[in-house]
Structure formats: C-alpha cells, structure tokens
Amino acid sequence: MKKSPASRKITQREIKRIARKIRLLVLDVDGVLTDGSIILDNEGNEYKSFHVRDGHGIKMLQRAGVNVAIITGRQSKVVERRAAELGIKDVFQKCFNKIAAYEDLIRKYSLAPSEVAYMGDDIVDAPVMSRVGLPVSVADADQGIRKFSLFVTKCRGGRGAVREVTDCILDAKGLLQGILDEYLEA
C-alpha cells in the first residue's frame, strides 16, 4: 500500500485544483451513502436510510458529465434499488477486493488515478483511497482512515457528506453556480 496522502497539510485551493480534474466519483455505501446502520427484521429484510440531498448531488454531478460508481463489501437489494433510482450503472457489491473493482473502472473509462475521487469511512477503503487523486473520508469516519484522506467532510456519512463532495467537485469545475442559476430560472 502506498504512503497515505494526508501525511502533509493541504489547502482548500489545492483541493479545488485536484477536484477540478475529477471524472469519476466512487462511493462506499455503509457509512458513506448511509449512516452505517444496518437494520434487519425477523423476516430477513434489510433497511438502509439514504439522504435525499446526497442523491440530488449525485444527479447534478452526472448531468455535468462526471461518472459515479459504487463499491461495497455488502450485498443488498436496497443498494441495487437506490443505484437504479440514481442512474448509477457501475455497482460492485459483495466486493472484497475493492482494488480489482477500482482498476476495472479506470480501465473502462480510460482514467488516470488523478481523475478519480473515492469516499470511504473505514480501513477497508484504504487500499483504493491510497491510489486515487482525491481520497475523501466522512466526518464520522474511523480515525484510521482519516490519514488516507486529503478531504474530510464536515457532514457525517448518510447525512449530506456525499453532497458536500459533489458540490466541491462541481464548484471546482466552475459548474455549481450555473446549476444553481438553472433552478432559479425554472
């Protein structure tokens, strides 16, 4: 594994410079798109809670031409459904080798690692986070993963953290204000 990127201080200006290059945002699910809770009932149903603003941020990012993918260690029909609702086509579930999925994605989209952002919350995300241009952890991430992050969100996982990153990328590309203006004109 590479040395953690956050071993040096990074300014907001540098984050913006890095975010401007992003063409793919890869998300973990539990603890990033959700608050990390896994609710199971006696019939074997699984429940997850997703934040609507995170979903809207994903849709805005996609409309701006940035691809979004999911890589998660668990398998869940709820994740399949949410990904379909959001138009996320690249979904890797029950993925114990996140590096292999990540490498598939960079080959598929002909990307350099510097063009990829990855959001994680736990040490299982470190192998991918140590390889991407913009490694991000959520505010309530495990302390061990923060050292691999260039950007730690102010919001917790499942509580707007993804939106914080989508807005950062859109702003860095100079697209956020135009998107906001479109809503005001409607």
What gap in Å lies between CA 17 and CA 142, rounded to an integer?
A: 26
Q: Where are the alpha helices (DSSP H) in the chain?
A: 12-19, 52-63, 77-86, 98-108, 126-129, 143-146, 161-172, 176-185
Top-tier CATH class for 17-185: alpha beta
Letter for the amino acid at 132?
Answer: V
Structure tokens at 95: 């993925």
Structure tokens at 53: 């603003």
Under-50 pLDDT residues of the chain: 1, 3, 7
SS3 (DSSP) at 90 = strand
What gap in Å lies between CA 153 and CA 156, rounded to an integer?
A: 7
What gap in Å lies between CA 132 and CA 155, rounded to an integer?
A: 21
Asked if 157 contacts 141 with a C-beta cutoff of 8 angstroms, the reply is: yes
pLDDT for 3 equals 47
Instruction: Report which secondary-structure segment, H or E, holds 71.
Output: strand 67-71
Tell me which residue has tokens 């969100």. 153
What gap in Å lies between CA 72 and CA 34, rounded to an integer?
A: 12
**CA 158-149-105 angle, 5° bins:** 75
pLDDT for 102 equals 98
Chain-wide mean pLDDT for the chain?
Answer: 94
What gap in Å lies between CA 148 and CA 124, rounded to an integer?
A: 11
